[in-house]
Amino acid sequence: MPSPRNPQLNQHGELIHLLSLDRLPRDILTHILDTATSFVGMNEREVKKVPLLRGKSVFNLFFENSTRTRTTFDIAAKRLSADVFTLDIGRSSTSKGETLLDTVDNLSAMAADLFVVRHSQSGAPYLIAQHVAPHVHVVNAGDGWHSHPTQGLLDMYTIRHYKQDFSNLVVAIVGDVLHSRVARSDIHALKVLGCPEVRVVGPRTLAPAGFESMGTRVFDNLQEGIRDADVIIMLRLQNERMSGALLPSREEYFKTFGLTPEKLAWARPDAIVMHPGPINRGVEIDSAVADGPQAVILSQVAFGIAVRMAVMAIVAGNDA
């Protein structure tokens, strides 16, 4: 049964759903990252499967468009030997008016063991987690502006892989922080893992001062924001989530906040550049940076499979 204090944990403090990185203790985050390490080398194996979820049914419920996240979850579940079913939302009964919970009930009746949920409404994965039977698990693949916990975890794995330790890092998160569930997940994880300085950098309309309450420093000047940074996480401009004119133009944004080789020189010489994707070249990042030696964007994608394998293996292995 879920803990009354945290619906993500069972009564023994073990992870049974992954809904958000907020309020998750450091030992659980570290356990996920450590478990992912054992899966990273699977790309080199002739047989890229382990039997940890053999006989389990994983249903991917993507109510919001996604390519990278959906594909990596699909690959991760299959590498764990699960039976994987991806719902075609456009042709499902939800398009005919069926409620979210009715959809979940019908799929649960088909012996679902784990739901991977992406939804435009914040809180949808929480609602499902509160509704399903105790043996069914829910993993949040992104909900509204709220949270994207597996992206946050794969970002932490990438940082740890290249920098080893969080305790002396300066991490700058640059761009459309206001609409970014990735930024929120990254900030929560970085603070829990002991990063001493997390910076939020962007136009005042997209990086409001309220983020200071999360323990970050807020900058509206790129040079000041990334000066001497060890890690730069660039964010996509999420035009689909914006209401009203928050920016003068994409060209003006790139001129002021787009990361070019010349601007990257303001950070530390060994700084790494990250991006959750998809990349808007010439808007938030120059191709010379995205394809350059300091970019670890493709490593993030590769590590994402291992991290999502770890999450599913852990939650499904912690049945109440």
**pTM of the model as a whole:** 0.93
Same domain as 293, residue 163:
yes
> What's the pLDDT score for residue 155?
98
Same domain as 258, residue 137:
no
278 marked ligand binding residue: yes
> What's the pLDDT score for residue 82?
97
Q: What is the mean pLDDT of residues 195-215?
A: 87
- 285: nearest Cα among 259, 311, 266, 310: 259
Banded pLDDT at 214 (limits 50, 70, 90):
confident
- Using alpha carbons only, give the angle 204, 206, 210 rounded to the nearest 5 degrees: 75
Domain count, the chain: 2
Domain that holds residue 35: 26-147+302-317
199 marked ligand binding residue: no
Same domain as 179, residue 140:
no
Among 164-178, 195-209, 223-237, the least confident range: 195-209
281 marked ligand binding residue: no
Same domain as 296, residue 172:
yes
Banded pLDDT at 244 (limits 50, 70, 90):
very low
In a domain, 252, yes or no: yes
In a domain, 139, yes or no: yes
> What's the pLDDT score for residue 126?
95
> What's the pLDDT score for residue 64?
87
Residue 272 has pLDDT above 90, yes or no: yes
148 marked ligand binding residue: yes
In a domain, 78, yes or no: yes
Same domain as 133, residue 232:
no
What is the Cα–Cα distance from 127 to 62, expressed in whole angstroms?
15
96 marked ligand binding residue: yes
- 203: nearest Cα among 250, 251, 253: 253
Same domain as 192, residue 79:
no
Per the model's pLDDT, the better-predicted residue between 82 and 236 turns out to be: 82
Banded pLDDT at 96 (limits 50, 70, 90):
low
Same domain as 55, residue 122:
yes
Residue 125 has pLDDT above 80, yes or no: yes
> What's the pLDDT score for residue 249?
78
User: How much of the chain, in percent, has pLDDT values that exceed 90?
Assistant: 74
35 marked ligand binding residue: no
Per the model's pLDDT, the better-predicted residue between 231 and 241 turns out to be: 231
Could you tell me the CATH number of the domain that includes residue 157?
Answer: 3.40.50.1370
Please check whether residue 254 is in contact with residue 283, taking contact to mean a CB–CB distance below 8 angstroms: yes
Residue 239 has pLDDT above 60, yes or no: no
Q: What is the DSSP letter of 271?
A: -
202 marked ligand binding residue: no
> What's the pLDDT score for residue 66?
83
User: How much of the chain, in percent, has pLDDT values that exceed 70?
Assistant: 92
Residue 151 has pLDDT above 90, yes or no: yes
In a domain, 161, yes or no: yes
Give CA separation, 193 vs 90, 125, 133, 157, in Å: 39, 24, 32, 11
> What's the pLDDT score for residue 242?
39
Please check whether residue 39 is in contact with residue 309, taking contact to mean a CB–CB distance below 8 angstroms: yes
| Helix (H) / strand (E) containing 171 | strand 170-174
146 marked ligand binding residue: no
In a domain, 67, yes or no: yes
Same domain as 297, residue 183:
yes
161 marked ligand binding residue: no
Please check whether residue 186 is in contact with residue 212, taking contact to mean a CB–CB distance below 8 angstroms: no
Give CA separation, 230 vs 148, 163, 192, 222, 252, in Å: 23, 8, 18, 14, 26
- 301: nearest Cα among 21, 43, 128: 43
70 marked ligand binding residue: no
In a domain, 159, yes or no: yes
What string of DSSP letters covers 32-43? HHHHHHHHHGGG
